[in-house]
Amino acid sequence: MIPSRSQVPRENLIFVLLTIAVFLVINFSNSFQVGFFSAVIFFCLGFAYKYPRKALWEFLIYLPFSGTVTYWIGNGSTLFIFLKDALYFPALM
């Protein structure tokens, strides 16, 4: 179902308020840094859900430049790099 034009600003407001609520809850329970990054991740996931085609393109643009993150998380593991490429190439085609 396609929302009407009057519902779109309301949905955007609800999404922004939920992002702020996630930030505040996690900020008060842990630390500012954890709350901030949780809110950013929540916002990115919401953006990807709302605009899936644009999110896929941004993912495809980000992935080749994400070598630093790959080496940081996977400690330079060859298997981890192959798994990253296994996600990238099918989506690219």
Judge whether 60 and 92 are in contact, CB under 8 Å: yes
Q: Are residues 13 and 31 in the same domain?
A: yes
Percent of the chain with pLDDT over 70: 68
* Interval 38-71: pLDDT, tens: 777 777 777 777 777 887 888 777 777 666 666 7
pTM of the prediction?
0.51
Residue 3's domain spans which residues? 1-50
Choosing from 15, 35, 50, the residue where a domain stops is 50
Q: What is the mean pLDDT of the chain?
A: 73
Neighbouring residues of 42: CB distance < 8 A, sequence distance ≥ 6: 18, 19, 22
Q: Are residues 9 and 43 in the same domain?
A: yes
Q: Which residue has the higher pLDDT, 83 or 41?
A: 41
Q: Are residues 34 and 70 in the same domain?
A: no
Q: Please, what is the end-to-end C-alpha distance for the chain in angstroms?
A: 29
Q: Are residues 57 and 12 in the same domain?
A: no
Structural domain count of the chain: 2
Amino acid at 47: F
